Amino acid sequence: MNSSALFTREYFVNLLSSVLTSTRFTPHEFVEAVLPSVQAESTEAAHNPASTALNVAHALAFRSGLGASLFASPAGPHFTVEDVKSFASSAFTKSSVSVFGTGISADFLQKLVSKSLGSLPSGASGSTAPSKYHGGESRVLFEGHGPQTIFIGFGSAGPVTPELSVLAAHLSSSKSVPWSEEPVSPFPNLPKDSTVQTVLLPYSDASLLGFLVQSPTTASVVQAGKAVAAGIKAAGAGIKSDALKKAIAKAKFSAATTLDTRAGLTETVSLQLLMGNKATLESVFSNIEKTSSQSTATVSRDFKLFEGNELSSLTRRCLSLLNQNLSTSPLEMCILYHMPMNLAYDHSLSGGVT
């Protein structure tokens, strides 16, 4: 390694470390830069139906912890620069900061970090309660514009399982690679003007699999929601052999490509640090390959969108709201443990929460 490369690495390690050790938290920057940026982020998210759906889904599923919003609420609580200073002093300690790098030897990185972060206080590592699901229903009025939206989701205690990864791959209509053929839709009755985005969110002690369904009209989004429910039900009857092979290959490709980006690599390493588990890509592949049609069917049936051959009462209730004149009715958002999370939005509404 030449001297200029060594200098560059040392410079940036010192620069990033100074954020933790030397930030001044000046009042004028807090008022003039930080607060406006936070407020702008919150306003944008509040007027985005997809962001709102995911935000409310987490809040109803977990309430606290993972249920806390990523965005500040205009209703408070309100913080001062002294609050931020206090939080930083307790969060930025040797026991709560982990550093990893790419393109650099572990010994050299450790030497740089020991030098640049040596002034951090020791502190005690923070502890958090395990994530828990809470049943319940909520009705929320949404202010904003955009496509009509339904969110159907499923929560599971513990990290993402191979079965959940394969099921998500099977029920995703996105291409594995840009140059591949258009995949066969898992939702054949989906209206042409509707879209479905499969969302698989991994956490250290919980995971969420969901389907964000969007259409320009109320009628089409109801039809699309029923099509997604039918697709999940079909997977519950078992995935055919050829389709299962494709889903396994797609899940493996997704796991591999996650490590191709810095954000994906950061997420993967962070989860392993939190779980105390150093899984290799080979072991992930091996577990995915062992997934059977029966195991994915069990996960799919846990959505409980149907009672026998009919839509469940909970699913019917959420979808039926979209058939009403919602200009005077609140929208129902339902999340139950091992039950569907059905979030329906009509964007002509205005008002508060009931």
The model scores a pTM over 0.85: no
> How far is C-alpha 60 from the geometric centre of its chain's CA atoms?
14
More confident position, 240 or 142: 240
What is the model's pLDDT at position 80? Answer: 92
Burial class (CB in 10 A: 0-12, 13-18, 19+), 5: exposed
The CATH code of the domain at 137-345 is: 3.30.830.10
Average pLDDT over residues 167-183: 74
To 10 degrees, the CA torsion angle through 84, 86, 92, 95? -140
Q: Across the chain, what does the average pLDDT equal?
A: 76
Residue pair 51/45 in contact by the 8 Å Cβ criterion: yes
Closest by CA to 67, choosing from 139, 133, 140, is: 133
Can you list the positions of beta strands (E) in the chain?
A: 137-140, 148-157, 195-202, 206-215, 306-307, 310-311, 331-334, 341-345
Residue pair 204/267 in contact by the 8 Å Cβ criterion: no
- Weakest mean pLDDT among 38-47, 213-222, 227-236, 299-308: 299-308
In this structure, the strands spanning 306-307 and 206-215 are unpaired
Q: How do residues 197-234 score in pLDDT, each as one tens digit? A: 998 888 878 888 888 888 887 778 888 888 888 888 88
What is the model's pLDDT at position 217? Answer: 79
Tokens of 69: 């919003």
- Weakest mean pLDDT among 42-56, 92-106, 120-134, 314-328: 314-328
> How far is C-alpha 127 from the geometric centre of its chain's CA atoms?
22
Q: Is the pLDDT of residue 323 over 80?
A: no
Q: Is the pLDDT of residue 337 over 50?
A: no
| Residue 78 CB neighbours (<10 A) | 10
Q: Do domains 3-116 and 137-345 have the same CATH topology?
A: yes
To 10 degrees, the CA torsion angle through 110, 116, 117, 121? 140
| Residue 342 CB neighbours (<10 A) | 27
Distances 139 to 223, 239, 270, 284, 336 between C-alpha atoms, Å: 22, 35, 35, 39, 14
Return the domain boundaries, the chain.
3-116, 137-345
The CATH code of the domain at 3-116 is: 3.30.830.10
Q: Position 178: which residue type?
A: P
SS3 of 132, please? coil
Q: Alpha-carbon distance 216 to 191, whole Å?
A: 11
Average pLDDT over residues 238-266: 84
